[in-house]
Amino acid sequence: MGYMSLVFVNVVLPILILMAIGALFQRRFHFQLTPISKLLTSCFMPAAVFLNIYEAQFDMQLLAQLVFYLLLFTGSTMALGQLLAKVLKLKRGEGAALKNSISLMNSGNYGLPVSQLIFSANPLGVSVQIIVLVFQNLLTYTYGLYNLLSATKSIVDIGKSLVKLPIVHALLAGIVFQAFAWPIPGFVLVPLEQLANGFVALALFLLGAQLAGIRLRSFHRAIAWSLLGRLVAGPAFALLFIFTLGIEGVVAQSLFIASSFPTSRNTATLALEHEVEPELHAQIVLYSTLLSCVTATAVIHLASVLF
């Protein structure tokens, strides 16, 4: 079985099945999605983010090597999103969807399985992906949230909203607990793990439920540009900075492959939570996930040839 089949069967297909279940149940029972979204972003998501950061094992030398690359790569995708939003003269909510879709990658339930599949014999490749994942979490709940909230709120209101968000508290707590290596009692850790384990399934179920009411025959122009920015320009930027910084071997492979992942599903979850173009966000996640089974496969093959 080739790369394309492996990636599709082991990563993309399970994601699509969970989304399909959400769509089917939504059509059958007509759930109120806003309360589910609030439950996800206020309970399940903070638990997952906290444990993700708390349990990550960082190699400080590797981390130092990657920080500059990640700043360059992220800065370039953010700049591209800002430029396209201005050139296309999109509304604020549509611009937020475009900018987030290019900068925020699905490094969790898509990226980690892909890396574990490819680098099963070399843990360094997976370690690189974990660092990218943590960085993407930080970016999602800072820059990503700012883009969403700025579509409907002033800077002062944005600051107040960010301070109140459970996900921000979880991020800060995870960083502090990780930095000081504070142990977590078992009676606290077990429910946190159970909530975190349920996060991916509930997030994909919710995304499928969102898509159930969307008329996919309406193809917003921002979707095409977001797909080009995330799945084409992203790997191109990565290749440029990898060669410029002289990164080689497994680290270069892992970074290049990580740049090809589709738009983060969290963009759709957060958009629904804050009621900022939720349908557009959900469509972008769906299309980028489907198309990535082709583009990511091409990048994986190219990475094996170049590095």
Cα–Cα distance list, 152 to 123, 145, 226, 276, 284 (Å)? 43, 12, 21, 8, 20
Output the DSSP codes for 18-47.
HHHHHHHHHHHH---HHHHHHHIIIIIHHH
Q: What is the CA radius of gyration of the chain?
A: 18
What pLDDT, on a 0 to 100 scale, did the predictor assign at position 166? Answer: 84
- Mean pLDDT value across residues 176-195: 92
Half-sphere exposure of 29 (CA within 13 A, CB side): 10
* Structural domains for the chain: 3-306 (1.20.1530.20)
- Token pair belonging to 44: 């399940």
Q: What is the 3-state secondary structure (H, E, C) of 174-217?
A: HHHHHHCCCCCCHHHHHHHHHHHHHHHHHHHHHHHHHHHCCCCC
Report pLDDT digits (tens) over 258-288: 999 989 888 888 888 787 888 888 889 888 8
List the beta bridge partners of residue 105. Answer: 263
Residue 231 pLDDT level (bands cut at 50, 70, 90): very high
The answer to whether the beta carbons of residues 11 and 260 sit under 8 Å apart is: no
- Mean pLDDT value across residues 184-204: 90
Flag whether pLDDT at 152 surpasses 70. Answer: no
Q: Whole-model pTM above 0.85?
A: no
Distance CA 149, CA 142 (A): 11
Please, which residues have CB within 8 angstroms of residue 201's CB and are 6 or more apart in sequence?
18
Distance CA 280, CA 292 (A): 18
The answer to whether the beta carbons of residues 101 and 261 sit under 8 Å apart is: no
- Token pair belonging to 156: 């002062």
Cα diameter, the chain: 54
Flag whether pLDDT at 1 surpasses 60. Answer: no
DSSP, collapsed to helix, strand or coil, labels residue 251 as: helix
Report pLDDT digits (tens) over 60-98: 777 788 889 999 999 999 999 999 999 988 888 888 899
The answer to whether the beta carbons of residues 283 and 213 sit under 8 Å apart is: no
Please, which residues have CB within 8 angstroms of residue 169's CB and are 6 or more apart in sequence?
46
